[in-house]
Chain A
Amino acid sequence: MPHDHDHDHEHGHGHDHDHEFSELSDVALRVRALETVLAEKGLIDPAALDVIVDTYETRVGPRNGARVVARAWSDSAFKARLLEDGAKAIAELDYGGRGGEHIAVVENTADTHNMVVCTLCSCYPWPVLGLPPVWYKSAPYRSRAVIDPRGVLADFGVTLPEETQIRVWDSTSEMRYLVLPARPEGTDGWSEERLAELVTRDSMIGVGLPLKPGASA
């Protein structure tokens, strides 16, 4: 959801000061200092910063990944290419660039469920999922996904059969992962557009399952 972006009107949280004048929080001051110093040196272009923010706030998000998944469900040749070289196949839909230089796509099957984490920080396949949700960046998820993936899945409302093997993929800056969930039953003959509506962000991280037919908006 976009929010007010007029950073000339921000002010600090302290309201016990003179209300007539502005006050910037410590972090806001640090960010402005960085921007000023780097712009003076010609190392950053303030207009480019606005474009980057707009890109991630409005243009790049999990709908991109949903289209990739729906294509894979509909086109077995595309799916084969996707599993072979994720980033390359994803580029066929014109998605790519920063944070998506190398993407491995891991397929959920009857035997195996895949889940993605970044234990180090928050590496995430930006071009197909946008920026990660807060919980993905949190220490509890980063540690528990590895120690107790079944418990994490239960927290997200997902219970898998005992015999299903869970594979946890630890992302790095060099390799990021996208889960290809299983196509829901009862969707024979559906168009890619309709299928894409069943694909949730969480199902592509592996902490959720796609919606069932009839459950989508």
Chain B
Amino acid sequence: MDHNKKLIFQLGRIGFLLDLTHVVEVVDPVQGLFDPGRSDIAQGIVAALRFRQTWIPAVDPALKLGLSAQKKIVARAAIVLHGHEGNWAVLADSVTELSFADQLIPCDIPFLLKVSAMGYYSQVFLLNNEPWVVFDPEDYYGASAQSA
């Protein structure tokens, strides 16, 4: 079951977990499939990505999260996701592996960090004693992201 699998990706030296049910495909790297001229920074869209004979919005979560990506934008990977308005893509430094949910241990966000986390992430899991932040696609693209 895809519900039981998580895609692990890295962005700005931070590890993220994404439920595999959201994922259509991983494009790595995006070079040659990328049109940065078609951006809408107000919505977090940094470019359009050519995917299956159409152009889809590519969102860079590093902008919202205040991170410095480790790779130039064209060297990064795109994770293509299902969305209410069609496919869209999230840019990542690298897509590492798949993990099973039962290998993940839930971990509370410390009280002292709850305010700084608010609006950016709400769940963290431990895998091999390392923290991984749950990436919720709705926070980054679509109607709910804009209302937030």
Report whether chain A binds chain B: no
Q: Which residues of A contact B (CB under 8 A)?
A: none
Q: Which residues of B contact A (CB under 8 A)?
A: none
